[in-house]
Amino acid sequence: MRHLNPALMGGVLLLAAALTGCASGPSFHQSAEESKSAIRAAEVAGSMESPTAGYHLHLAKEQLARAEALAAAGEKERAASMLTRAEADAELAIALSHEQDERADAAEAIERVRKFREDNQLPRLSID
């Protein structure tokens, strides 16, 4: 049986690990585009109309800018982490803006029921 040089084997393993590490995750550019897309979706969802959703949208924009600065400085891991935070805050802003819309829709429905009851002189229900 032939024995391989341990140094050569170690070098091959290091190269394989490095290539796997580079190929295992999305590129910074791809992650940045996903974060930008989430931010645009939050803007379209009307996140600025809700103070809480607007705050998270603002955070997402700041984190995206910080990620780009970190990437430019060569701190790819910290930049990737900041992109993840930016995307999460943008998605939270979307959810919060939808919650506000749903609350408004529910309040309108309750008011319509109350008006219907008054118009038809039906017994009043306490929904509060």
Q: Which of 43-57, 60-74, 104-118 has the lowest mean pLDDT?
A: 104-118
pLDDT (tens digit per residue) in 45-56:
999 998 999 999
User: pTM of the predicted model, to two decimals?
Assistant: 0.64
pLDDT (tens digit per residue) in 25-41:
678 889 999 999 999 99
Question: What tokens does 126 get?
Answer: 């306490």
Judge contact between 60 and 87, C-beta under 8 A: yes
Task: Specify the CATH number for 29-119; select among 3.90.1070, 1.20.1270, 1.25.40, 1.10.1060.
Answer: 1.20.1270
Please tell me the distance from the alpha carbon of residue 106 to that of residue 61, in angstroms, as a whole number. 31
Mean predicted lDDT score pLDDT of the chain: 81
C-beta neighbour count of 33 within 10 angstroms: 13
Would you kindly state where each structural domain of the chain is located, as residue ranges? 29-119
Backbone angles phi, psi at 46, to 5 degrees: 85, 30
Which has the closest alpha carbon to 92: 52, 36, 44, 40?
52
